[in-house]
Amino acid sequence: MVIASRSMVSSVAIVLAPMLWGAPVCADDFYAGKKLTIVAGTAAGGGHDIFARMMGRYLTKHIPGNPTIIVQNMPGAGGKRATDFIYNQAPKDGTTIGGVFPGAIIGPLLEDGSNERYDPLKFAYIGSGDTDTRICATLKASKIKTFKDLLGLPEPAVFGSSAPGGSTHDYAHMSANLAGAKVRVVTGYQGTPPITLAMERGEVDGLCGWGWSIFKSERTNWKTADQFNFLVQMSLTPEPELTALGVPDFGSFVTGDKKKAAELIISQQAFSRPYIAPAETPADRVEILRKGFMAALADPELVAEFARINITNKPIAGAELQVLIKQVFATPGDIVTLARAAQKPAK
């Protein structure tokens, strides 16, 4: 047996030290002492903002190293401003993720002449916080009380919306172009709270594309207040709660290729709260973020908080969402063309 002398041990230590100093940091240690930014692609106060801030409070518990998490609002262009930022400007090291709108993800597929500076197929998808149903709604005092009322109006109703690519814009036009609803869309509102305020002021008659879970989180007293007419629900699978209220499914108003086009547009609701990271984010950190995201949404305390303010919690894991996005972008061209035309003003 050879016993190493003290001088031999010292020599080995001197040789190994540079190697150890230069060794990569373990992924599980990366977030210790770091700041993780969630860029919310909406103004403060809306359902997506509420979700992002609640997620931020719990996500830190489920990421090794427990980073400090802050939420930065970046509204604009129906969520595209934030989506562009994540793709082109955000740090690529896993310290910045985006909570954006599904319309910003599917926009490059469904918008004619889309010149976005990002490729939705290249994002690292962290997950989606919900699978949602969208609605068209008016106030109780409105003369428009059902979706059929929209089909027979002598003059178009005025519906408020955000920019093209936002659900309130695209779904209002879809209602007009595929189902024949008589709607004139007015853009420029940043989120559903300003649109509902405009409804109360009499500036607009209603809106389409309001996420059901977002509606319930913004209007926590909706059952007792009874302020709205729910005209139609839009989803691949009807929402039982809305069906029980007698709200018809949009699919019953369209047929043939128009129905297929509507289903393509509506498919984005399967990822109604998408969270993304830059394409270059290291794979091990993407995996940490994905696991933390799903663990946070399963946290009993967060589940209870969501329940108290009526936020639905039907998440999709990041890897599953990555596959779904690829499938959506593989839709046949003729259906894509029809869907594109359906989301903009008729000529």
Give 226-280 pLDDT, tens digit per residue: 999 999 999 988 999 999 999 999 999 999 999 999 999 999 888 989 999 999 9
Residues 178, 112 share a domain: no
Q: List the domain range (segments joined by +) for residue 145.
A: 134-267
Residue at 281 is within a domain: yes
- Is there a single domain that holds both residue 283 and residue 261? no
Query: CA separation (Å) from 13 to 10, 19, 22, 27?
Result: 5, 10, 14, 25
Residue 346 lies in a domain: no
Q: Which residue has the higher pLDDT, 120 or 4?
A: 120
Q: Does 12 map to a domain?
A: no
Residue 250 covered by a domain: yes
* Band of residue 1 on the pLDDT scale cut at 50, 70, 90: very low
Same domain, 167 and 239: yes
* Strand-pair partners of 40: 73, 99
Choose between 162 and 21: higher pLDDT: 162
Residue 347 lies in a domain: no
Same domain, 285 and 181: no
Residues 260 and 165 in one domain: yes
Same domain, yes or no: 146 and 209 = yes
Same domain, 160 and 245: yes
pLDDT at 164: 82
pLDDT surpasses 50 at 14: no
Contacts of residue 215, defined as CB under 8 A and 6 or more positions apart, other chains included, come to 47, 135, 137, 192, 222
142 shares its domain with 124: no
Instruction: Establish if 247 belongs to a structural domain.
Output: yes
CATH number (domain holding residue 150): 3.40.190.10
Q: Does residue 214 have a pLDDT over 60?
A: yes
Domain boundary among 240, 267, 294: 267
Q: How confident is the model at residue 25 (pLDDT cuts 50, 70, 90)?
A: low
pLDDT given at position 84:
98
The pLDDT of residue 346: 83
The answer to which of 165-169, 288-292, 315-319 has the lowest mean pLDDT is 165-169
Secondary structure element (H or E) that encloses residue 13, with its range = helix 6-21
Q: Which residues pair with 232 in a beta bridge?
A: 136
- Lowest mean pLDDT across 41-50, 135-144, 235-244: 41-50
Q: What is the pLDDT of residue 23?
A: 45
| pLDDT at 295 exceeding the cut of 70 | yes
Could you tell me which residue, 334 or 13, shows the higher pLDDT?
Answer: 334
Distance of CA 263 to the CA centre of its chain: 17
CATH number at residue 73: 3.40.190.150
At 226, list the tokens: 């009874």
Span 333-343, average pLDDT? 95
Q: Is the pLDDT of residue 341 over 60?
A: yes
- What are the structure tokens assigned to 11, written together? 């020599």
Return d(Cα 71, Cα 80) in angstroms, integer.
17
Is residue 308 assigned to a domain? Answer: yes
> How many domains would you assign to the chain?
2
In the predicted structure, residue 206 carries a pLDDT above the cut 90 = yes
